[in-house]
């Protein structure tokens, strides 16, 4: 049995649909990149020194900012599936999961806090929660950062600010991102225009699983591209403003579909429902794409079914590693796709007494 | 109200699923091409003479072989939709429906007999019925032919047999065809091989609506390609043998899918059910393609739903001209596709008391 078993069976706290703004905002995430004095940047460290760094950080973090029932994990002690499951839960990066180097992660029991050791930077501190709450998350991240700083002297430059392995992070070391669900903007074709504007605003757009992931299910992570020259608060304000504007566009696009192409909209939504409640085999991508329409249908009141908790559960639990780690008979892709379809049918058709 | 209204509301008698062989055979059709002495071939007749021909044939047929409650229709008195509806019901050819020339059709009330006047030949006599029954239909066609011959002297050549406008029909003037439903052969990819063999056997393969129609919904019409040099019985025996062999191949392919790729098969069938019971807009082609899987699911007992009468009704009534002629608000394609989806949902979910 995997040491992640208790974690995997739960829904992540950052996934608490409808989130905010009628299901448009899934979650907000703030990440601080830090490096400590006395160790070179990761790329220049020998494997032995990297191991020392990870052990050092694990000890210092547990002692300085202990979190009840936290999970302290060494990445090399996890099998590839367990690592992928942590990526699926947004707790570690693909880079950390795939790396051969010593690495670790410290995760609070509610999964709101996650501290990666020996990622691109020595330490990457993440605060993630449901809804649009970048400010609150920044506050929590800064608090934790200040606590840790007492035991861990951050590499700092009087003019540039925090030093980081990649120059784009120098300064505040802050990256803030918001995960949005934008089916109407994509369907109406307006999202291309939004993407162009975001690029001009120095914003980055990514898929469900961050860097290197293709957008699926109309889920997009919007984040600030640069960290230098602006204060934490300025960066966050800038992101907040941008996100609020995108939300407004998505709301307009939804209203427009409701009035101008209602049948096409309903067709998409009810087909998705018909497909997910009947298919005998489902890939992860097809499921997420179809689930997107059901989420929209629930948000717009087109579906009477509106079990948000179940939508979250499916989104999380039906991902490849989650399926495979929690089911003995899911070794090959075919068995997994079949099992996924069986689970989704069962979950979507659960009696309303099991609904929230 | 269309003069075809009573006809359109019924199911055609040649559509009586499961037909035979577990739903594989839909219907059998026999057609005799005849020309009468005293008139040149259609292509060489002036419009005035063509009109005279049509009137002459209509009078002679009604008098010589009167059928109770038959429909005697002049094609130029039908609007394009009504003509298309007759094509959809397999009662007239696309050629007759689209032609600008004088033409007529005489249809028995059960739609088993249909006599086209001034098609490529002066008269084309069709007998169509459900299941595999080419022999019985040939017998009925020959009986009618002999009755008509008393009043209508057929153009005949002592050596070649019946003379026809197109040389491929010279001799018996017979074309026999069987409509088959071959989803498993298509899905397993074996149908390509079957097509090659059929071509070597001088057989022609066509779609649901005969000449010029693309195969949809895995429905194929197999017919004899040549009429010269063989007796009626030889032609029919040859077609019968070929069709029996294709049926056996389809049965093997179905068994193979049931044992070797059951999940994929069930996935196709249940997805089709989910789609048709949920879509809010359906094109005619998509409907027929999906209905094919439901037909297969009913035939294999994978679906507990097994309302064959309803399958026939949907296949016939959801075709473009049928939808449009029977519903006031189906002028544009969008409204028609929406209406089609609404009807199909209602029909498939009709309580079992309405099922046969």
Task: Answer whether B263 touches A (CB < 8 Å).
Answer: yes
Contact between chains at B278 and A264 (C-beta distance less than 8 A)? no
Question: What pTM was estimated for this model as a whole?
Answer: 0.89
- The answer on B218 and B69 residing in a single domain is yes
B221 is a domain residue: yes
Spatial separation of the C-alpha atoms in residues A37 and B212, rounded to whole Å: 79
- The answer on A164 and A34 residing in a single domain is yes
**A356 — pLDDT class (breaks 50, 70, 90):** very low
Contact between chains at A273 and B278 (C-beta distance less than 8 A)? yes
Q: Would the pLDDT of A59 be above 90?
A: yes
Residue with tokens 């997910």: A276
What pLDDT does A352 receive? 57
Concatenated DSSP letters of B233-254: HHHHHHHHHHHHHHHHHHHHHH
A354 is a domain residue: no
3-state secondary structure B152-211: CCECEECCCEECCCCHHHCECCEEEEEEEECHHHHHCCCHHHHHHHHHHCCEEEEECCEC
- The answer on B285 and B224 residing in a single domain is no
User: Which of B204, B230, B255 is the endpoint of a domain?
Assistant: B255
- The answer on A167 and A38 residing in a single domain is yes
- For residues A48-76, give the mean pLDDT: 95
**A10 — pLDDT class (breaks 50, 70, 90):** confident
User: Which of A255, A280, A301 is the endpoint of a domain?
Assistant: A255
Spatial separation of the C-alpha atoms in residues B168 and B226, rounded to whole Å: 6
- The dihedrals phi and psi of B127, each to the nearest 5 degrees, come to -120, 125
Residue B108 is classified by DSSP as -
- The answer on B196 and B269 residing in a single domain is no
For residue B225, the tally of other CB atoms under 10 A from its CB is: 12
What pLDDT does A346 receive? 96
B315 is a domain residue: yes
Tokens of B85: 């509806």
- The answer on B154 and B26 residing in a single domain is yes
What pLDDT does A355 receive? 44
**A1 — pLDDT class (breaks 50, 70, 90):** low
Spatial separation of the C-alpha atoms in residues B337 and B319, rounded to whole Å: 10
Size of interface A-B (CB pairs under 8 A): 52
Bridge partners (DSSP) listed for residue B126: B31, B114
H or E element in which residue A216 lies: none
- For residues A215-220, give the mean pLDDT: 89
Within 8 A of A271 by CB-CB distance, chain B residues are 275, 278-280
Task: Answer whether A283 touches B (CB < 8 Å).
Answer: no
Domain count for chain A: 2
Q: Would the pLDDT of A199 be above 50?
A: yes
Domain encompassing residue B244? 5-255
Task: Give A296-355 pLDDT, tens digit per residue.
Answer: 999 999 999 989 999 999 999 999 999 999 888 778 899 999 999 999 999 999 875 444
The nearest alpha carbon in chain B to A303 belongs to B278
B354 is a domain residue: no
Tokens of B83: 């003509």
Residues of chain B with pLDDT below 50 are: 353-356
- The answer on A307 and A216 residing in a single domain is no
Task: Answer whether B277 touches A (CB < 8 Å).
Answer: yes
Collapsed DSSP state (helix, strand, coil) of residue A131:
coil
User: Which of B190, B224, B255 is the endpoint of a domain?
Assistant: B255
Cis peptide before B239 (omega within 30 of 0): no
- The answer on A170 and A103 residing in a single domain is yes
Contact between chains at B270 and A281 (C-beta distance less than 8 A)? no
A168 is a domain residue: yes
- The answer on A179 and A313 residing in a single domain is no
- The answer on A132 and A61 residing in a single domain is yes
A356 is a domain residue: no
- For residues A238-262, give the mean pLDDT: 95
Q: Would the pLDDT of A88 be above 70?
A: yes
B356 is a domain residue: no
Task: Give A116-126 pLDDT, tens digit per residue.
Answer: 999 999 999 99
Q: What is the ipTM of this complex?
A: 0.86
Q: What is the CATH number of the domain that holds A50?
A: 3.30.590.10
What pLDDT does A157 receive? 86
Contact between chains at B267 and A275 (C-beta distance less than 8 A)? no
Residue with tokens 């005619």: B284
A104 is a domain residue: yes
H or E element in which residue A71 lies: strand A71-74
Task: Give B187-201 pLDDT, tens digit per residue.
Answer: 999 999 998 988 888
Residues 29-88 in A contacting B (C-alpha not used; CB under 8 Å): none
- The answer on A123 and A20 residing in a single domain is yes
Spatial separation of the C-alpha atoms in residues B168 and B354, rounded to whole Å: 47
The minimum CA-CA distance between B192 and chain A, rounded to whole Å, is 27
- The answer on A173 and A267 residing in a single domain is no
């Amino acid at each position: 049995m995997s040491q992640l078993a208790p974690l995997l069976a739960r829904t992540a706290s950052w996934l608490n649909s409808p989130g905010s703004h009628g299901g448009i905002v899934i979650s907000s995430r703030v990440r601080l990149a830090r490096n400590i004095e006395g160790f070179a940047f990761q790329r220049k460290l020998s494997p032995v020194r990297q191991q020392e760094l990870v052990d050092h950080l694990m000890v210092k973090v547990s002692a300085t900012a202990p979190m009840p029932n936290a999970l302290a994990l060494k990445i090399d002690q996890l099998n590839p599936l367990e690592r992928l499951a942590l990526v699926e839960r947004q707790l570690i990066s693909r880079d950390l999961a795939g790396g051969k180097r010593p690495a670790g992660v410290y995760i609070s029991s509610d999964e709101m806090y996650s501290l990666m050791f020996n990622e691109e930077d020595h330490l990457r501190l993440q605060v993630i929660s449901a809804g649009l709450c970048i400010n609150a998350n920044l506050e929590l991240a800064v608090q934790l950062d200040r606590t840790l700083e007492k035991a861990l002297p951050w590499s700092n430059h009087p003019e540039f600010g925090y030093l980081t392995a990649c120059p784009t992070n120098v300064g505040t070391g802050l990256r803030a991102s918001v995960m949005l669900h934008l089916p109407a903007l994509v369907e109406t074709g307006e999202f291309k225009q939004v993407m162009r504007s975001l690029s001009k605003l120095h914003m980055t757009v990514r898929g469900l699983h961050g860097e290197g992931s293709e957008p699926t299910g109309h889920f997009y992570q919007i984040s600030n591209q640069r960290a230098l020259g602006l204060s934490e608060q300025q960066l966050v304000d800038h992101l907040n403003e941008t996100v609020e504007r995108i939300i407004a566009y998505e709301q307009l696009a939804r209203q427009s579909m409701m009035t101008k192409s209602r049948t096409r909209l309903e067709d998409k939504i009810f087909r998705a429902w018909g497909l997910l409640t009947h298919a005998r085999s489902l890939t992860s991508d097809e499921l997420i794409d179809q689930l997107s329409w059901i989420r929209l249908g629930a948000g717009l009141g087109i579906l009477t079914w509106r079990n948000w908790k179940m939508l979250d559960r499916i989104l999380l639990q039906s991902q490849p590693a989650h399926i495979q780690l929690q089911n003995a008979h899911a070794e090959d892709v075919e068995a997994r796709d079949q099992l996924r379809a069986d689970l989704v049918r069962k979950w979507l058709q659960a009696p309303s007494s099991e609904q929230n």
